[in-house]
Amino acid sequence: MSLITVGTMAFDAIETPFGKTDKIIGGSATYVAYAAANFVQPVQQVSIVGYDFPQEEMDELKSRGVQLEGVEIVADKKSFFWSGRYHEDMNSRDTLVTDLNVLADFNPQIPDSYQGAEFLMLGNLVPAIQLSVIKQMKKRPKLIVMDTMNFWMEVAMPDLKEVLKHVDLLMVNDAEARQLSGQFSLVKAAKSIMAMGPKYLIIKKGEHGALLFHGDNVFFAPALPLEEVFDPTGAGDTFAGGFIGHLAKTGDISFENMKRAIIVGSALASFCVEKFGPTRLKEVSKEDIDRRIEQFRQLVSFEIELV
Amino acid sequence: MSLITVGTMAFDAIETPFGKTDKIIGGSATYVAYAAANFVQPVQQVSIVGYDFPQEEMDELKSRGVQLEGVEIVADKKSFFWSGRYHEDMNSRDTLVTDLNVLADFNPQIPDSYQGAEFLMLGNLVPAIQLSVIKQMKKRPKLIVMDTMNFWMEVAMPDLKEVLKHVDLLMVNDAEARQLSGQFSLVKAAKSIMAMGPKYLIIKKGEHGALLFHGDNVFFAPALPLEEVFDPTGAGDTFAGGFIGHLAKTGDISFENMKRAIIVGSALASFCVEKFGPTRLKEVSKEDIDRRIEQFRQLVSFEIELV
């Protein structure tokens, strides 16, 4: 089943305690595409880039089944650029530079060839743009997943709340869930957010794993304990890509299958952080992914007799 | 199989965002005993109290199979008293008062009637005292578990490292594991700490669960997502008591059984935080515990086919 993913394709310059990069490929939709393409084709990309975005990267994405009809190329502007520095704990970072460039004009148009997609992944963008994408879909997708961030809660809360009424699943981190709901307890935050629209909520806790809420059901997936987290950039988008990729592959949006999808997403994210940018994602094979999923199973499996 | 637990029996005064207590019962050995006594009798308590420790509490413990021959009662001094205030996140707290009182003279003697115990739980105490207890055991217990804290790393690191050579399992929180090892990555920290002596390491992450390490094996148990964490005081000791109580009940110290023991400990800890002090621990039934263990199973269980 096909999957539309809307988000940024960008350049990032990253500093971590382990090293520093010049401009490398980044952007939420890039990570989603590399992760999801392991499971489903086509991945129908909607994004915007400038004249400087490398053709080799486009070719690489195409070779993996990513369609680029929905990627606008602006001939006289540069691609979105972000630069940041991570603190030692890798859970927090300082933004050094944000050059919107082409992103300032992003007004995504869903190509006719993408109509009918059953899965829609809305990356973190201006809420009004996310809503415009939903409204362009002639047939409502079977599952609409959205990401967002604290910034939109500060500057565009009414728009954000409007989009929330139209999506099935929201993915945020723990701080964002608390800010959006005004509740400190994540269980209470989840109830409050699900009352705003989404029937499903994923709260990402970085190295502490992720929680999936639906009604009174809760599922928890840990992050894999790693020797090194080399660069967390894109881990959340990679998680999202693995998650929705697995759902789109199976076509099954039951809670049980979402649990599996979270494990798949966590496995992909655990690769992403091993090298700078999407480098590691381009290297992993089906066998690598399966092996890592098995590690997740071992990490949490226990047998207990209640006597 | 019998279990010796060494630690404090005390009074606590606690402030949380939800309320405030006057002096209530506390102390690491108190929590360990209430938790472990659900699974094993006798629990052989080693501690020290003053003239002010209530006889009703002693009677309550005895009625649950806790032996008190090893609890010294000092007729002319007060019991250890601690007072603290939790921050909103409940993961950090300020100590307001620490009155050592009888604890300043604590020089535990293992009663003859306790000799031969197969399980030994060393609560957080001066490392030299922990070592003295180990040396008093005429037959080495099958499993020695110890807790400690950052304070001893600062003021008594050589003694602490000496005790570590004699124990089988160390239980610390994530910040303590990092401080003890000088490693930020918990996987690296675990390797480094296991090289100091303990073959097993449990890293407690509070609301983010707990990790068990042994050689190259890792197991992760989440904390149950709760609507309210009312008072986290004693949660770590309750976890320890449930953990070692399950091991002592079954007599099985395999890695597989330690996984179960961690789930049992996590279940007990999830009750502990629901009310001030050990109140909730005194209320829970076998059925309550089993139901909660089943919630843990549901929280992390997933089925995935690798195709």
- B3-300: CATH topology is UDP-N-acetylmuramoyl-L-alanine:D-glutamate ligase (3.40.1190)
Q: pLDDT (tens digit, 9 = 90+) per residue, A243-270?
A: 999 999 999 999 999 999 999 999 999 9
Q: Does A75 touch chain B (CB under 8 A)?
A: no
B252 reaches A (C-beta below 8 A): no
Q: Find out whether B90 and B223 touch, Cβ atoms under 8 Å.
A: no
Residue A159's Cβ-side half-sphere holds a number of Cα atoms within 13 Å equal to: 16
Host H or E run for residue B184: none
Q: Is A293 on the interface with B (CB under 8 A)?
A: yes
- Tell me whether B285 touches chain A (CB under 8 Å): no
B229 touches A at CB < 8 Å: yes
**Token pair in block for residue B13:** 């005064």
Nearest CA in chain B to A217: B299
Which ranges of chain A have pLDDT less than 70? 306-307
Q: What percentage of chain A has pLDDT greater than the value 70?
A: 99
Tokens of A216: 């009174």
- What pLDDT digit, counting tens, does each position of A266-302 carry? 999 999 999 999 999 999 999 999 999 999 999 998 8
pLDDT at B306: 63
Long-range contacts of A252-260 (CB under 8 A, 24+ apart): A253/A142, A253/A143, A253/A168, A255/A212, A255/A214, A255/A217, A255/A219, A256/B302, A256/B303, A258/A200, A258/A212, A258/A214, A258/A219, A259/A212, A259/A219, A259/A221, A259/B302, A260/B302, A260/B303, A260/B304
Range list of H helices, B91-136: 127-136
A225 to chain B, any CB pair closer than 8 A? The answer is yes
Task: Give chain A positions within 8 Å (CB) of B184.
Answer: 88-89
Cβ proximity of A20 and A267 under 8 Å: no
CB contact under 8 A, B222 and A226: no
Q: Which residue in A184, A297, A302 has the most chain B C-beta atoms within 10 A of its own C-beta, making it the best mutation to test that interface? A: A302
pLDDT at A207: 87
The dihedral formed by the CA atoms of A33, A36, A38 and A41, expressed in degrees to the nearest 10: -80
Return the pLDDT at B228: 82
A306 touches chain B (CB under 8 A): yes
Give φ, ψ of A207 to 5 degrees.
-65, -10
**Chain A / chain B CB contacts < 8 angstroms:** 89
Q: Check CB contact under 8 Å for B187 and A227.
A: yes
pLDDT in tens, A152-161: 999 999 999 9
Listed by start position, the domains of chain B span 3-300
Query: In percent, how much of chain A has pLDDT > 90?
Result: 90
Task: Kindly report the nearest CA distance between residue B89 and chain A, in angstroms.
Answer: 8
Rg (CA), chain B: 18
Query: Under an 8 A CB cutoff, do B89 and A256 touch?
Result: no
Q: What pLDDT tens digit does each residue of chain B (307 aa) get?
A: 799 999 999 999 999 988 899 999 999 999 999 999 999 999 999 999 999 999 999 999 999 999 999 999 999 999 999 999 998 777 788 999 999 999 999 999 999 999 999 999 999 999 999 999 999 999 999 999 999 999 999 999 999 999 999 999 999 999 999 999 999 999 999 999 999 999 999 999 988 999 999 999 999 999 999 888 888 999 999 999 999 999 999 999 999 999 999 999 999 999 999 999 999 999 999 999 999 999 999 999 888 876 5
Name which of B88, B186, B191, B220 to mutate to probe chain A: the one with the most chain A Cβ atoms within 10 A of its Cβ. B220
CB–CB contact A209 B208 (8 Å):
yes
The region that residue A86 occupies, defined by phi over 0 for left and psi between -120 and 50 for alpha, beta otherwise, is beta
